[in-house]
Amino acid sequence: MNLFINKKTKFIDLGLMDYKEAWDYQTTLFQSILDVKTSNRTANSNLTTQNYLLFCEHPHVYTLGKSGEEQNLLLKKEDLHTIDATYYHINRGGDITYHGPGQIVVYPVIDLENFFTDIHKYMRLLEEAVIQTLKDFGIKSGRINGLTGVWLDYESERQARKICALGVKTSRWVTMHGLAFNVNVNLKYFTNIVPCGIADKAVTSMEKELSTTQDFELVKTVLKKKLADVFEMEIF
């Protein structure tokens, strides 16, 4: 257990960034936290671990989680260039998803020992921050038992549609990857995949549900505050 609790979390808005570049940056931060934890254990040092909250957008890209099925990409890889998209098989949980402009991608790279040691709670709080954000914009959302993410019409088997996907990686309570929240995203790109490996559920966005393009920066500001609140982070 970390005896030197640090809830201070550095917020970094990466803007529009290539997926691989952002993945590499996450990995660097992730490893730096693990290195501190290793030093504390092996060298009997008392270093405090750092926490980071990254926001970004990506150019069109499909990512497949480590346990995902490649057949859930419905387009041939060699044809991805025709829609200006790229593809990566990555080290998070979950199946295939899409990232693109107009979508808020959040990567918390944090030491959960600074907050709590419960992966289930971590996932539910990520969802909760999005649920509360949507509520502020007049959209009712929630969860579906057995499925991760945030859903609209979540009580309806036929009408349920996903507005936020989750996929994370953890090691020794350090997290990376995170959530993808559809704000003004081009939903046509989801037709090239079986989103998250779920064939019978639709995908939506704030723009579609509210029938108007959203103030992207405002949504980011609200989501940032909700994340800080639910995790009791001290954002700087």
Q: Is residue 29 part of a domain?
A: yes
Strand segments, DSSP code E, in 100-160 are: 103-109, 142-144, 147-152
* Sign of CA pseudo-dihedral 236, 8, 20, 88: negative
Q: How many CA atoms lie within 13 A of 2 on its CB side?
A: 25
Instruction: Please provide residue 193's backbone torsions phi and psi, each rounded to the nearest 5 degrees.
Output: -140, 170
* Domain that residue 79 falls in: 8-235
Q: How crowded is residue 42: how many other Cβ atoms within 10 Å of its Cβ? A: 8
Q: Is residue 2 part of a domain?
A: no
Q: Is residue 52 part of a domain?
A: yes
What size, in residues, is the chain? 236
Pairing of β 174-182 and β 161-171: antiparallel
Catalytic residues: 196
Tokens at 31, concatenated: 């490893």
62-73 pLDDT tens trace: 999 988 899 999
Q: Is residue 195 part of a domain?
A: yes
158-201 pLDDT tens trace: 899 999 999 999 999 999 999 999 999 999 999 999 877 777 78
